[in-house]
Homo-oligomer: A and B are copies of this chain.
Amino acid sequence: MAVFAERGFGAAKLEEVARRAGVAKGTVFVYFPTKEDLFRAVAQSVLNTHMSRLEAAARGPDRPLSELIPALLGRAAVAAETQLPAVIRLLIAESRTFPDLARVWHDEVIGKVLHLVTSAIKRAQARGEIQSGNPTLYAFSIMGPMLAGVIFREVFRETGAELPDLKRLAAQHAKTIVKGLLRQGD
């Protein structure tokens, strides 16, 4: 994972993977027939880790959006400290080369997050907490800035640019977007 994340699929050398794993190159091929298989296995493994955490979060009670959104964005800021950003970068980079992997990621992670948020929005709309509008697009309004922040940090880390503080971003954006969504003053 580390090697793929640093170099991308194409530029990652299996010899380096082997070296960092503390084995010889041949050993890698005993367990993974091809480079592609290794990549898929590794991506799937990271996916499974984060998916199980998500499942747990989704089983929570039906809190009002004004609580759910700050909690969700806060969690995203924490998750951004793991290797998840690198994996997201990889996914974006290789989505053309591995469309099947993109589909798995969509169905198993992104789709679930999206569903989690949109269904919460629909319930909030039903009980009159927030204004009308397309729930899926609202999900982008809620989550988009965090994704943008994560990618910004990934892409411009080496350029000396000032990087956004994701926890502050989560806090400030949560406050702003909740105010924008609430029905009061509509």
Do the beta carbons of B11 and A97 come within 8 Å of each other? yes
Query: Contacts of A133 on B, CB cut-off 8 Å?
Result: 172, 175-176
- Interface 1/0 per residue, A84-98 and B, CB below 8 Å: 000001011111110
* CA gap between A141 and B173 in the complex, in Å: 6
* CA gap between A99 and B157 in the complex, in Å: 9
- Interface 1/0 per residue, A30-43 and B, CB below 8 Å: 00000000000000
A146 close to chain B: CB less than 8 A: yes
Give the interface centre of A8, A106, A144, A169 by most chain B CB atoms within 10 Å.
A144
Do the beta carbons of A172 and B134 come within 8 Å of each other? yes
> Interface residue tally of chain A, by bracket?
35 or more
| SS class, residues of chain A in contact with chain B | helix
Query: Contacting A8 at CB < 8 Å: which of B89, B97, B145, B176?
Result: B97
Query: Contacts of A160 on B, CB cut-off 8 Å?
Result: 103
* CA gap between A6 and B94 in the complex, in Å: 10
Do the beta carbons of B172 and A176 come within 8 Å of each other? no
Do the beta carbons of B106 and A168 come within 8 Å of each other? no
* CA gap between A144 and B140 in the complex, in Å: 9
Q: Can you report 8 residue pairs joining A to B where beta carbons are below 8 Å apart? A: A92-B93, A103-B156, A133-B175, A137-B165, A140-B149, A141-B172, A176-B177, A176-B181
Which A positions have Cβ atoms within 8 angstroms of B?
Answer: 6-11, 89, 91-97, 99, 102-103, 106, 110-111, 133-134, 136-138, 140-141, 143-149, 151-152, 154-156, 158-162, 164-165, 168-169, 172-173, 175-181, 184-185
| 5 interchain residue pairs of minimum CB distance | A180-B180, A10-B10, A144-B145, A93-B93, A144-B148
